[in-house]
Amino acid sequence: MTALLDYRSNRIVELLQEPAERRDAEWLRQALQQAVLLELATLPPYLCGLWSIEDPSRDEGVFTAIREVVFDEMSHLGLACNLLTTIGGVPRLADEKVVPKYPGPLPGGVRPDLTVFLSGLTKDSLDMYSSIEEPDHPVAHLGTHTSIGAFYDAVLEAFRSRPDLITGAHQVTRNMQQHGQGNSIVALTSLADVEAAIGVIKEQGEGTSASPRNPHPGEQEELAHFYVFREIFHGRKLVKTADDPVRWEFVGDTIPMPVCRPMATVPSGGWGAGGTAAPDAETRELLDSVNHAYSELLRFLEAAWQADAPAKAKEFLNKAIGQMFALQGPAQTLMERPLPQGGGSTYGPEFRYVAP
């Protein structure tokens, strides 16, 4: 079973190759564990980009847009965990084999040509963020790969064929409406609940076939994640330029690229691996402290979805969210520490799992 949980496996690809009639309860449990890993995999790279912005007040539009994407992804992770527990599964998050390592692939073999990495906010990282969120048929860009949304479509069809699997067990809730319509982590006790949750996850990331806008926005006319990242990449607002046929283009108002801390790309194995950018003792201690705090965050999340009492689940979830906010300060301190070889680049968090 551990091998099936390895984020470097092709498990999503293999699951999607199974014929519909064989997509039973075990298929759904495995698929939803992969969904949990997918949602987790997006958070460290997005957080590195967000935290690298030097002056959020000066670059408020970009900072706010990426911050809202991060909160959406937090909601998606919670909803994915509820999707798994409502059918009797248990999310696995605190395990070295499960936690994505950077640079590396997305879990399950999704978009196999994509390498997900940790760095400050740059054109390259924005391009990578866009590739994570890219729909099969974006309204302003031609896609050629199977999307995360297509995977969720298969999950939804499996739920529709077996609604009896939905038990409502071990559901964790949190009100997050201040970050957008449908952003709250809600209990999933019926097929309608499941359909709504999967709709939020898909449409906040990809938009819809008719529009690039997020149908569950925090603010009016907020874009889905893919288009948020493409706007910042292109440095122009996305606007509708024709109605028949409908056409959207990045030709609106300019969006200046923020001034960012020059966090370099974390090398495979972390800083110092293979003799690259070996940190001094003080920097290594700070890196280790961030890794331990991140690992504790994952253990709190696991405990939240294992707790029998709702009050205990809420306590663990609050601790996990507190840990995430506590990571920002030390992460930004690392982004101020220059690499020993010079060139102006700095360290940054590794987001590596370490056992207690």
Q: In the numeric block, which tokens belong to residue 266?
A: 């974390």
Does residue 306 lie in a domain region? no
Amino acid type, 23: R
Q: Report the CATH number at residue 7.
A: 1.20.1260.10
Nearest to 265 by CA among 94, 110, 52: 52
pLDDT interval class at 207 (50, 70, 90):
low
pLDDT mean over 220-246: 89
The Cα–Cα gap between 221 and 171 comes to 31
Helix (H) or strand (E) holding 240: strand 236-243
Backbone angles phi, psi at 258, to 5 degrees: -65, 155
| pTM, two decimal places | 0.93
Does residue 201 lie in a domain region? yes
Nearest to 321 by CA among 150, 175, 120: 175
What is the domain count for the chain? 1
Helix (H) or strand (E) holding 248: strand 246-254
Does residue 16 lie in a domain region? yes
Does residue 286 lie in a domain region? no
Backbone angles phi, psi at 261, to 5 degrees: -60, 135
Q: Is a pLDDT exceeding 50 seen at residue 145?
A: no
How confident is the model over 93-107, as pLDDT tens digits? Answer: 999 989 999 999 999
Residue numbers of the domain that contains 235: 2-262
Does residue 330 lie in a domain region? no
Burial class (CB within 10 angstroms; exposed 0-12, middle 13-18, buried 19+) of 185 = buried
